[in-house]
Structure 1
């Protein structure tokens, strides 16, 4: 027993040795994120229109874990100055936030502008500028104006490409002097597969393997429309960048077998390539096209359920991302599976089996594992697959099972994942330029309601004042920003 402390010390030392001691490059940006529908509240104040998530939460409370709504959320609509002060106090470089489409254009169309909504975001951007915090702004973070869903079936109608283009042009024109770091659509995979596929997310459309692919096509063309508008009308003046966010867990082959390696690659192409490949390489990934075409034929369809891009559209899509924006939180093992039943389904088309090792560390949902090596592998995959693009991590963070302020597990997660970023930069020459932690504070986590805790700051949702309460991880992240390093400053290497 006397040897135990030495043994523990050796383990601690070996773990410390795994943390990269290098300082982040001087140009590397560290920031935090959240999104309008999750923190703003003020859901019907000052002329804001209804969104599909407002309708979904109000009409289907049984689909929200705690039957809650985003009506008030963190009340950032009224407390944005306090939120920005927290970011300033942490010494961070940027804040990723979103514009609520329906707050500035209540019907979704540019013929009806809500001046109070425009003024709100003007004030937010002014506050950020005065505090030397760079805004990273998302145009669409899942909150489609409800009239567009009612009148045109939302993302399933190809006319939305031009409607979104008009909205993007309005935003670029209105806020272009305040913002030069743009994201068109956050996580189109979730929008399409959950919102227009399984129906688990707003607007609750069910049609997996058919409608989710139509959604994907329209979102990608809408993104390209916005990119071209910026490129042609605003880039020379505002010198900004525009991208679309992709999201996934890293898919690790379940074994060294060819079948498992192919399954892992197929999973990543269906999860990431479906949205990244068209904007970087011009078309759907080959494995996705082949799989959906083959299964569609066996299922009796006259043509593939995956709608093709024309040659003109391929040319229009290719090159419409100035950087690669990545949301990622975890890793899953992926193995080959027997051929799925011949019914239309995105999961059947992908046809893999996900699993996790029983000893993988987690503290919340079953898929939220603390495995930083997966991030490094993911970043290298993106580098190889898309010709070494600039990569920005636009979301990464850790969910805990309770709202404790002593969130050492979150600190462990951030330290490991940030170290993986340093490894990717210095050891693998990945062109990674920024990292954004999710989230600045606890929020309304969609169907998870207020039961998931991801914030550097706790929010007391039972208090009408919605106080922000600092967690231990906030001090850790502030220390990283100050020292530009993950270890004690005396141990850091320039």
Structure 2
């Protein structure tokens, strides 16, 4: 009722921001996210095992900006109570975080479960629940235990069983309180980006073989962990399970490039979605055909994209309770002209498409070189998923802006407003059943090869101070106001000290 009066009042004054009702549906949930290696620190605390990012950042500091690493990061291992306090200050409905596989299982296998790791995550989960905040837990966010990597990691087919054993431990320890699980975060980064470039852990470059073997094994690992929950834990705990895909939206640069754009979407979205969410399962037919043709042209006797057996297709198909989507950026795509340098990019398949990728001329750049802003892309991606895989429940499990820092982050406020408006349009005009939105990230953290030079946080972290103090940015007040009012019809703060919309006044 109050918001309705505000809208009418502002309309009388001619203030444009509140002449439309940008209220979210009843029951819509807002959260923020982090990931274990990026925030925890405590890399060798107690009995924690070494993981691939521990080893990679120590062995190859030259690859990471300023030779940064996650040894201390935000020190969330010691400051988990402050993390909960921040989540409570924002008024979050849920907090998404990941378990460190090697903190919970120091050997990577289930023969030894760490009491210290168990206590750490129990403290975090129980503290969140006591604050009225639901935990959303990711089992794997890129930090594979080193002993498993030394056996081949995601290219060893036994990884699916190792991952399932790890999932069983996590479900058994925390499943009574955790009701939303994400098995694996951004398989396309774990496989395509890592093995296509070699500049992410484990630091192995194998674009034709490593990337494709990894892709199949990640899908099988997810499926087995999902089936495990379904058969052994669902009837007791009544939770939900999916995996989180990082999706880049592609639009044709010209009318002649529509088919090419569709292939690009199938390459990035379909390879990690079609096997799980389609009715028939297996690889997207257009990608399977393209990979087989290109493999033959390169002299291989069989496709470098490993086939699924019928049994594997049935194992993977349908292993979801919702679609979890991470989204940041988009690209225009067009056919390459004769002699023109074509796209290799981070994701596999593009080197064979004879295509050129570029941002739109009016898309705003960000602090990350790969990241350009195009708000309609998040809506376009959701509509594509609904059209191709059906009318299911969707969650945005990551979305946020890369900046170079500063407390008065009006650019981040504008980013959240523009992307959230597109999500509301998807809900209202396209009928997308979107239920959750997750801001990336709760606080500045270790951003992989960018180290600490790039900032995504609602809270600024001082990485020069051993105590790692956290201070809310203007965007934190703005996001808190959206959550409190369940609407974008709020006054934007002019700087980090403007708490008008976040708290007392509204």
Provide the TM-score with structure 2 as the length reference. 0.90
SS at match of 1:129: helix
Distance 1:447 1:408 in 2: 25
Q: CA deviation at 1:365?
A: 2.5
Q: CA deviation at 1:178?
A: 1.7
Native 8 Å contact 2:481 2:490 kept in 1: no
Matches within 5 A, 1:83-482: 83-150=83-150, 152-257=151-256, 260-281=257-278, 282-337=281-336, 346-400=349-403, 402-482=404-484
Larger deviation: 367-376 or 434-443?
Answer: 367-376
Cα separation, 2, equivalents of 1:20 and 1:300: 59
CA–CA distance in structure 1, aligned partners of residues 234 and 174 of structure 2: 13
Q: Deviations over 1:93-142 (max 9, x none)?
A: 00000000000101110001111101110111000110010111000000
Using the TM superposition, give the Cα deviation of residue 367 of structure 1 relative to its aligned residue in structure 2, in angstroms: 3.5
Paired with 2:130 and 2:20, the residues of 1 have a C-alpha distance of 34
User: Is the Cα–Cα contact under 8 Å of residues 240 and 321 in structure 2 kept in the other structure?
Assistant: yes
Separation (CA, whole Å) in 2 of partners of 1:488 and 1:56: 44
> Conserved in 1, the CA contact under 8 Å of 2:208 and 2:304?
yes
Q: CA deviation at 1:449?
A: 0.4
Deviation at 1:14, TM superposition (A): 10
What displacement does 1:36 show? 0.5
Q: Which residue of 2 aligns with 1:62?
A: 62
1:50-80 Cα shifts (integer Å, max 9, x gaps):
1100100000001101111100000001111
> Are the counterparts in 1 of residues 101 and 139 from structure 2 also a CA contact under 8 Å?
yes
Per-residue Cα deviation, 1:302-347 (whole angstroms, up to 9, x for no partner): 0111000000111111100111111111221111236999x99643
Structure 1: where are the runs of 5+ without partners? 1-12, 490-494
Report if the CA contact (8 A) 2:333-2:356 is conserved.
Answer: yes
Conserved in 2, the CA contact under 8 Å of 1:20 and 1:419?
Answer: no
SS of equivalent to 1:427: helix
Number of residues of Structure 1 aligned to a counterpart in Structure 2 = 473
SS at match of 2:269: helix
Q: 1:16 to 1:249 in 2, by over 3 A?
A: farther
**Residues 337 and 193 of structure 1, relative CA distance in 2, 3 Å threshold:** same
Deviation at 1:366, TM superposition (A): 3.6
Alpha-carbon distance between aligned partners in 1 of 2:442 and 2:297, rounded to the nearest angstrom:
48
| 1:373 shift after superposition | 1.2
Change (3 A) 1:14 1:369: farther
Give yes or no for contact 2:160–2:221 (8 Å, CA) kept in 1: yes
| Separation of aligned partners in 2, 1:207 and 1:45 | 33
Give the superposed CA RMSD: 2.0
Aligned pair 1:45/2:45, yes or no? yes
Give the Cα separation in 2 of the matches to 1:245 and 1:20: 32
CA distance in 2, matches of 1:273, 1:430: 19
Over 3 Å counting, the alpha-carbon distance change for 1:78 and 1:20 in structure 2 is farther
Change in 2 beyond 3 A, CA 1:251/1:14: farther
CA contact (8 A) 1:210 1:345 kept: no
The answer on whether the counterparts of 2:23 and 2:489 sit within 8 Å (CA) in structure 1 is no
Question: What secondary structure, in the 3-state scheme, does the structure 2 residue paired with 1:217 have?
Answer: helix
Classify 1:236/1:470 alpha carbon distance in 2 versus 1 (closer, same or farther; 3 Å).
Answer: same
Name which of structure 1's ranges 459-468 and 384-393 shifts more when overlaid on structure 2: 384-393
Shift of 1:249: 2.0
Instruction: Report the alpha carbon displacement of residue 403 of structure 1 after superposing the two structures with TM.
Output: 1.1
1:391 Cα deviation after fit = 0.8
Take 1:468 and 1:453, find their aligned partners in 2: how far apart are those partners?
13
Distance 1:451 1:15 in 2: 36
Q: 1:26 to 1:374 in 2, by over 3 A?
A: same
Contact 2:192 2:348 in 1 (8 A): no
- Whether contact under 8 Å (1:270, 1:350) holds in the other structure is no
CA distance in 2, matches of 1:487, 1:321: 34
- Aligned counterparts of 1:101 and 1:351: Cα–Cα separation in 2: 39
Per-residue deviation at 1:43? 0.3
Local SS of the residue matching 1:92: coil
1:350–1:203 Cα change, 3 Å: farther
Listed as ranges, the gaps of 5+ residues in structure 2 are: 1-13, 492-506
3-state SS of the aligned residue for 2:396? strand
Q: Distance in 2 between matches of 1:348 and 1:159?
A: 30
| Cα displacement string for residues 330-376 of structure 1 (whole angstroms, at most 9, x for unaligned residues) | 221111236999x9964323543211233322332243223211111
Q: How far apart, in 1, do the equivalents of 2:288 and 2:61 lie?
A: 37
Alpha-carbon distance in 2 for matches of 1:352, 1:455: 34
Residue 123 of structure 2 aligns to a residue in which SS? helix
CA contact 1:41–1:77 (8 Å) conserved in 2: yes
